[in-house]
Amino acid sequence: MKTGIVIYEDNIDFREAIVQLINTSEKYICAGAFYKCNEVLQNIQTLKPQVILMDIDMPGQNGIEAVSLIRSIDKEVKIIMLTVFDDNKNVINSICAGASGYLLKKNSFERLFNAIDDVLQGGAPMSANIARMVLEHVAENNFVSTEKYCLSTREKEILHYLVKGHSYKMISASLHISLETVKTHIRRIYEKLQVHNQAEAVAKALKNRIVK
């Protein structure tokens, strides 16, 4: 069965192009495409997508507000933000609201399927600029926590690499362990941190000073 994807994008030409691209895939299918997200909860409850592509600036309710609403009822669906600029503060606000990652519109046609594959495997498409903004956001808010998550030394080591933006393959090569072993450790990290994806894990790790 193909993975269902729902799109929220107010630019009709861009939206239709993404729909056509998705429907050329053997793995994915567009379950719905909308120019605004005012009925986002009804849409996802009806269509039950595994992945959502969410524009940020749309008429009426914006994409960040929509992400918060989605996360109030669904912690599992993967949400990739579509954005024009990778240094826009709206992007970090989206991640803090619960987005799984983001994709630059100019790279959408080239990197869309890789980004979808990434989030479905627990990754989080995120540039160095966004990672830097997350760090600055944490520093500005001076987060302090007494929570302990009982991560093992290896789990902390892998979490450190995730915070630095390394891919699963890069972590595997750096630590000389198999890709499946990396994935197993990351699943355990997510369970202990009570998060669902890499973006949430990185944010929580930095917020609670689990890694430096």
Q: Where are the domains of the chain?
A: 3-128, 143-207
What's the pTM value of the predicted model, to 2 decimals? 0.70
Read off the amino acid at residue 157: E
Q: Which two tokens stand for residue 61?
A: 């309710």
The pLDDT assigned to 33 comes to 97
Q: Collect all residues with Cβ–Cβ distance below 8 Å to 192 and sequence separation of at least 6.
A: 149, 150, 151, 155
Task: List the chain residues with pLDDT less than 70.
Answer: 87-88, 127-129, 131-132, 134-148, 212
The pLDDT assigned to 149 comes to 79
3-128: what fold?
Rossmann fold (3.40.50)
The pLDDT assigned to 107 comes to 83
The pLDDT assigned to 146 comes to 41
21 vs 113: CA distance, rounded Å: 9
Closest CA to 32 of 13, 55, 48: 48
143-207: what fold?
Arc Repressor Mutant, subunit A (1.10.10)
